[in-house]
Amino acid sequence: MTAPVTVYVPCDSAALSVGADLVAAELEAAGRPIRVVRNGSRGMLWLEPLVEVVTDRGRIGYGPVEPERVGDLVAAGLLDGADHELCQGVVDQLPWLADQTRICFARVGITDPLSPEDYLAHGGMAGLRRALARSGGDVVAEVTESGLRGRGGAGFPAGIKWKTVADTPGPDKFVCCNADEGDSGTFADRMLMEGDPFTLVEGMTIAGYAVGAQEGYIYIRSEYPDAVRTMRKAIEIARAQGWLGGDVLGSGVRFDLHVRVGAGAYICGEETAMLESLEGKRGMVRAKPPIPAITGLFGKPTVVNNVLTLASVPAILADGAPAYQALGVERSRGTQVFQLAGNIARGGVFETAFGLSLRDLAERYGGATRTGRPIRAVQVGGPLGAYVPESGLDLPLSTRRSPRPARCSATAASWFSTTRSTWRRWRGSRWSSAPRSPAASARPAGSARYVAWR
């Protein structure tokens, strides 16, 4: 009997939106024994749905595959890895992936997101096991030594925040993951939760052990129903595997997780507004001090980190702080997951060490603009970030750099191209707008940052 061919079809929301479920159904009805595995997205969104076939040469990718073309592709030898106009070759050898340094996204697109066997086979739980063999203080020290900074926007050192929580007395402490990814052009948190949820579970459990917390909450925006379902299922599986609960990995340590869904308020992306929402109140920003690390959820010491920060922790504990610190530049250590969106030829996620230039990201990997027009500006850091003109694209990407970094804590980059005059203002920059609208002229100098075009 012929062994079934293993075929990977993404279950990521981006792939589902362009027909991945229909593609999977067509493949299962192809008439040959196959095993369809629903994986996360590889991050090459212009190729979705990307179908991968396991062969002796590796996983051969085909994309973008439309449901109505599945029959012709199978007839042309897709299940044997045959050549075709949609064949991309061995996926791991594609420059987009081969040039990345993936830590957060190391398993995304490779494994079945909800298979504990896959997770363990690809290095999962190594970080948690190493953490549990040490004291909580040693774990905090390792995270501090790694140089990991928050990936949610402020770039605050994660180890310092954890130490503050650990050193604050009290029997009840919490770990909260801010997954309220509300900025336009951002999708890395969603892709990680849908593509490798156990990484987040492991990272939060390590954080809980390190600071002495026994309970954690993942706050996910309501617009991410697939991520909510995946995380809830992953938590159920983790409990059954002994990765969560009253005896984590047989260590006697207690830690459990819960998913809470936001109600659509953008302001709840701010940490204290998120805490208000978790407490069942209206999401509004709290005055500081006190800071959440001292007086957080329900008035208790609370670690608040975003998805990518917590997803970096398992690798830091598994491989050691020096390995993580060896990546990056200056005070920006480790990797960043860059999200490419807007008028760009190849949109998606690209994870690499800090220090890559905006120009390389835009032109070498992003393929420049989708329309073929020259790049006029790149918006970095989401809608509240800065607009960098074409003349500034050689800036290295980092969280902190002088003079004038291309700061990228929020990880998003959008590309703009125009053919007529563009109004451009960038607070503190030397490039100005022409012409300016009467409303803009009435604003105090340096009071706004925006791009508009006609």
> Which of 323, 303, 406, 318 shows the shortest CA–CA distance to 147?
323
Query: pLDDT band at residue 412, thresholds of 50, 70 and 90?
Result: low
pLDDT at 420: 29
| Residue range 40-55: mean pLDDT, rounded | 97
Select the more confidently predicted residue: 292 or 397: 292
Greatest Cα pair distance in the chain:
78
CB atoms within 10 A of CB 239: 15
Q: Contact 73/86 with Cβ under 8 angstroms?
A: yes
**Per-residue CA distances from 297 to 5, 36, 245, 373, 378 (Å):** 49, 42, 20, 49, 37
Q: φ, ψ for residue 252 (rounded to 5)?
A: 85, -5
Mean pLDDT of 425-447: 35
pLDDT tens digits for range 135-190: 999 999 999 999 999 887 778 899 999 999 999 999 999 999 999 998 888 999 99
CA dihedral 90, 96, 98, 102 (to 10 degrees): -120
Whether the per-residue pLDDT at 443 is higher than 70: the answer is: no
Mean pLDDT of 335-346: 92
Measured CA distances, 16 to 83, 290, 307, 338, 397 (Å) = 25, 43, 22, 22, 31
Q: For residues 365-382, give the mean pLDDT.
A: 88
Whether the pLDDT of residue 362 is over 60: the answer is yes
Query: What's the CA gap between 192 and 186, in Å, rounded?
Result: 12
SS (H, E, C) the chain: CCCCEEEEEECCHHHHCCCHHHHHHHHHCCCCCEEEEEECCCCEHHHCCCEEEEECCEEEEECCCCHHHHHHHHHCCHHHCCCCCCEEEEHHHCHHHHCCCCCCCCCCCCCCCCCHHHHHHCCCCHHHHHHHCCCHHHHHHHHHHHCCECCCCCCCEHHHHHHHHHHCCCCCCEEEEEECCCCCCCCHHHHHHHHCHHHHHHHHHHHHHHHCCCEEEEEECCCCHHHHHHHHHHHHHHHHHCCCECCHHHCCCCEEEEEEECCCCHHHHCHHHHHHHHCCCCCCCCCCCCCCCCCCHHHCCEEEEEHHHHHHHHHHHHHCHHHHHCCEECCEECEEEEEEEECCCCCEEEEEECCCEHHHHHHHHCCCCCCCCCCCEEEECCCCCEEEEHHHCCCEEECCCCCCCEECCCCEEEEECCCCCEEEECCCCCCCCCCCCHHHHCCCCCCCCEEEEC
Q: Locate 14 and state its tokens.
A: 């981006």
Mean pLDDT over all residues of the chain?
88
Region class of 403: left (phi > 0), else alpha (psi between -120 and 50), else beta: beta
- Cβ 165 vs Cβ 301: under 8 Å: yes
